[in-house]
Amino acid sequence: MYHEPALRSPAVEALQIRRNGVYVDATFGGGGHAGMILEKLGDNGRLIAFDHDPDAAGNVKHDERLVFVPHNFRFIRRFLKLHGYLKVDGILADLGVSSHQLDSPTRGFSFRWEGPLDMRMDPLAAQTAADILNALPEEGLVKILSEWGEVRNARSLAAALVSARKSTPFTTIPQFLQVVEPWVRGQKPRYLAQVFQALRMEVNGEIPALTEFLTQSVELLEAGGHLVVLAYHSLEDRMVKNTLRCGNPEGNLQQDFYGNIFRPFEIVTKKAIVPSSAEREQNPRARSARLRVGRKLPV
């Protein structure tokens, strides 16, 4: 299977799909969410799906109700307008990495394989993980390891990486692991996952892209429409919470002339929905998923 989405049914149900509505699957991947959405749409319903990984395009099945956009969801407003949609009835995004990406040695997303240090969601993007490791100043490495990966000994690891690259530039995963492994703290798989996550998020500009996507989603939703987001990292989850609460990923409260606070959403999920123990056992990669839902309020 290309990918088994976490919390697939709760996420799609949260959209409260109307048969003739217009919906966005911002992270198409293997088409797991999209397939369920299409099952609920009528003949006049529409689904616009985004994914900038060329491999995802191979999962698109012909359906006149489906428009596939092979671009990053940070361009959601631009491409919705291009296809004639200024507002939509629901937006769903699953921010996780697909199993297909993790299980492809040549993509470089996982420490389990002997592949290149790549990690690009879009293989045509300019910078690979190796490029960043070889060029980013030490303080820059500290920043991404600590903020994106929450690596506790980020400063020590960054110094070791800078020292190692002086003699041999990084190119492959085994070479990278040889430098990282002496600095592992706590459980090795968890530590390595955090390091790889930090690099992946930097390579793909995931935080800036998510900021743009969430900001535009607030404007694009019709009143009564639902924003449904699955996050797997505390920073991403906080950005989603802030957007539902304040209308922006930074969490800045906005007030009008009279001091009334702008609340764009009714928060449907007071606490994040998490996978059941049965789902976590069946799909271990779902274990860190956090599902949050907001219903757009009238302006």
**In the block, residue with structure tokens 């070479």:** 175
The set of residues, in sequence order, having a beta carbon less than 8 Å from that of 159 and lying 6+ positions away, is: 138
Chain segment 36-88, per-residue pLDDT in tens? 999 999 999 999 999 999 989 999 999 999 999 999 999 999 999 999 999 99
Helix axes 138-147, 154-167, angle to 10 degrees: 140
Q: Which amino acid is at 276?
A: S
- The per-residue b/e assignment along 9-19, b for 16 or more CB within 10 angstroms, e otherwise, is ebbbebbbbbe
Q: What was the pLDDT predicted at 1?
A: 60
Chain segment 74-116, per-residue pLDDT in tens? 999 999 999 999 999 999 999 988 877 887 888 988 999 899 9
Question: CA-to-CA distance for 221 and 295, rounded, in angstroms?
Answer: 9
Question: CA-to-CA distance for 163 and 86, rounded, in angstroms?
Answer: 51
Q: Which of these, 267, 220, 222, lies nearest to 243 by C-alpha position?
A: 267
Q: What was the pLDDT predicted at 256?
A: 78
Question: What is residue 88's DSSP assignment?
Answer: E
Other beta carbons within 10 Å of 189? 11
Question: CA-to-CA distance for 87 and 91, rounded, in angstroms?
Answer: 10
Other beta carbons within 10 Å of 222? 15
Q: Where are the domains of the chain?
A: 8-99+206-296, 126-203
Q: Would you give per-residue pLDDT tens digits along the chain (299 residues)?
A: 667 888 999 999 999 999 999 999 999 999 999 999 999 999 999 999 999 999 899 999 999 999 999 999 999 999 999 999 999 999 999 998 887 788 788 898 899 989 999 999 998 888 999 999 999 999 999 999 999 999 999 999 999 999 999 999 999 999 999 999 999 999 999 999 999 999 999 999 999 999 999 999 999 999 999 999 999 999 999 999 999 999 999 999 888 777 788 899 999 999 999 999 999 988 888 888 999 999 999 97
Q: What is the pTM of this model?
A: 0.93
Query: At 32, is the secondary structure helix, strand, or coil?
Result: helix
Chain segment 85-94, per-residue pLDDT in tens? 999 999 999 9
Secondary structure of the chain: what % helix, strand, coil (to 5)? 45, 15, 40
Please provide the CATH number assigned to the domain covering 126-203: 1.10.150.170
Cβ–Cβ under 8 Å, residues 90 and 21 = yes
Instruction: Report the run of H or E that residue 235 belongs to, with start and end.
Output: helix 234-246
Instruction: Specify the CATH class of 8-99+206-296 in words.
Output: alpha beta
Tokens of 171: 């190119």
Report the C-alpha dihedral over residues 207, 103, 58, 120, rounded to 10 degrees: 40
Q: Which amino acid is at 236?
A: E
